[in-house]
Structure 1
Amino acid sequence: MRAIRTILITAVILGGLFVAADRGAVWFAEKQAAEKIRDSQGLSGTPEVSIKGFPFLTQVASSELDEVEVKLDGVTAGAGDRSVKVSGFDATLHGVRIDSSFSSAVAGRATGTAHLSYEDLTKAAGDPDVSVAYSGTSGSQVKVTGKVTVAGQPVERSVVSTVTVVNGGTIRVHADEVPSQGVPGAERKIREKTDFDRQIAGLPKGLKLDKVTATPSGVDVTLTGSDVNLAG
């Protein structure tokens, strides 16, 4: 009886040591992975990386992680004066193939969400006379207000615009209808301001924009991808 008890106690102690070592390895790997992703993607901040699954060490031995979550707030994506600030980004990655130093990481498939605030969409329009806001309707519609001058007269219109994804990497804002209200040339001039395309660059290679949903706080863009290159 005493021998069985000793064996059980020893097993518990060894199990505890293994769990501690495993969790310590996860913490170190998450830190290393976050820095690699930041550097390889040229991000403006360091992401929060969470490696799921237990035990972690056996996943490392097989060079593949079951599931990894990546979160980042306030990242600037794009280039130059047409850059777009993504106020929230999160992705869940499955089947992440790694090497021993975490210098290379490729996810078999990934899903996620990028959040663009209306303030940042307004800045992305690139015109001080244009503003983007919540339309109060469901789906992918927003309200865009533009000010122009027609025949020497100031004209302001608020239009309902649909936000769509073009070619997996570009956000398009296009007015459903622009009421001219009898002002010749008003629709064309308003559209020159309210209709615009903005590319969302800087996301991990292989991750594409999929669908847009307008919310009271901004626009949520769902992301999907396969063979997503996180580092290397």
Structure 2
Amino acid sequence: MSTAVPQTGGTRAPGRRLPRRSTLLLAASVLAGMLLLLWGVDRLARWGAEAVLADRIAAETGVRTTPEVEIDSRFVLLQMLRGRYEDVEVGLEGIASGPLRIERLDAELTGVRLSFHDLLYRNPVPIYVESTRERATLRYEDLNTYLELTGRPVRIENASDGEVQLTGSVQIFGQEVSASAQAGLTAEDGRILVQPTELQTGTALDGASRLLLQQRFGFAVPVDSLPFGQRITAIEPQESTVEIEARGDGVLVNP
């Protein structure tokens, strides 16, 4: 009788791959856990940095409502450790500096520098911003309040063709003269210049009186309450507001 010899080259017994599969599943689980942990740490870093920036901006501007601050990046932890945030969006409401109030301001900040140590311990140090772009909304109602508080007997409202309408009564050589005027808006040294282009009045005036009337209707509005803009780049009158665009370089946000 012949004895059968066991075959050694056949199929592997079931279950031989299980240890390898278990290892892969374990590795995948560990990787997923690490990614989830990093995501959670990054979210905490984002919330912490945004909260500190909001506090600093609120202290700088004196707004009563908490500023809206959003770091525009998926990964914040590395930026925090580096002490430089690439892009930060800020929204503010109700900025007041002296008699002038700004209704709304939206800003884009690039290169916001705050060291990890100062952020962690909330050290009261200035925050340096490499460059800024902002858009401010100024209501005619607030402009008229400013004019009243500064003793200017003129009111301002929207007109057409990118200009505003001025109305009021002023003293000209001891005579009260009521008039209205179309006026253009320009920027100069951080101020809005309101310059009449066409006067209308029912009072007969000589050349000197008309020139003085035009000067009385012209004025400047300082907008140094803009927290991030050093240069006004555009002014656009609209139906109920004046929209102002500004830019800045090397801006400091003080504690």
Would the TM-score normalized by the shorter structure come out above 0.5? yes
1:7 aligns with 2:27: yes
Matches of 2:243 and 2:229, distance apart in 1: 19
Q: Measure, in 1, the Cα distance between the counterparts of 2:217 and 2:41.
A: 56
1:136 aligns to what SS in structure 2? coil
Number of residue-to-residue matches in the alignment: 224
Query: How far has the Cα of 1:161 moved from its partner?
Result: 0.6
Among all aligned residue pairs of Structure 1 and Structure 2, give the percentage whose two residues are the same amino acid: 25
1:164-203 to 2 correspondence within 5 Å? 164-167=186-189, 169-180=190-201, 183-184=204-205, 187-188=210-211, 190-203=213-226
Farther off after superposition, 187-196 or 55-64: 187-196
Matched, 1:211 2:234: yes
Q: Could you list the per-position Cα deviations for residues 51-109 of structure 1 after superposition, in whole angstroms to 9, with x for gaps in the alignment?
A: 121211100111110100111111102x3xxx310001111011112122243321211
Between 23-32 and 120-129, the greater mean CA deviation after superposition? 120-129
TM-score scaled by length of structure 1: 0.86
Q: Give 1:144-163 correspondences, 5 Å limit.
A: 144-148=166-170, 155-163=177-185
Task: Supply the AA of the counterpart residue of 1:226.
Answer: D
Q: Distance in 2 between matches of 1:172 and 1:35?
A: 33
Unaligned runs of 5+ in 2: 1-20, 120-124
Q: Matches of 1:93 and 1:42 in 2, distance apart?
A: 15
Counterpart CA distance in 2 for 1:152 and 1:95 is 56
Tell me which of 34, 37, 62 is aligned to 2:82. 62
Secondary structure of the 1:178 match is strand
Query: Which stretch of structure 1 is more off in the superposition, 85-94 or 41-50?
Result: 41-50
Q: Is the 8 A contact 1:204 1:229 kept in 2?
A: no
Q: Quote the offset at 1:148 in angstroms.
A: 3.3
**In angstroms, what is the RMSD of aligned CA positions?**
2.3
State the structure with bigger RCO (CA 8 A, min sep 6), 1 or 2.
Answer: 1
Residues 34-66 of structure 1: per-residue CA shift (max 9 Å, x gap): 111222x25233422111212111001111101
Provide the residue aligned with 2:12 in structure 1. none
Q: 2 CA distance for matches of 1:119 and 1:229?
A: 30
Match of 2:14 in 1: none
Q: Which has the larger radius of gyration?
A: 2
TM-score by length of 2: 0.79
Q: Which moved more, 1:45-54 or 1:125-134?
A: 125-134
Distance 1:93 1:188, change over 3 A: same
In the alignment, residue 72 of structure 1 is paired with which amino acid?
A: L
The within-5 A match list for 1:73-88 is: 73-77=93-97, 79=98, 83-88=99-104
Call closer, same or farther: CA 1:54–1:211 in 2, change over 3 Å.
same
- The residue that corresponds to 1:115 in the other structure is 137
More strand by share: 1
Q: Any residues of structure 2 matched to 1:13-162 within 5 Å, and which? A: 13-39=33-59, 41-45=60-64, 46-77=66-97, 79=98, 83-100=99-116, 101-102=118-119, 103-126=125-148, 127=151, 129-138=153-162, 141-148=163-170, 155-162=177-184
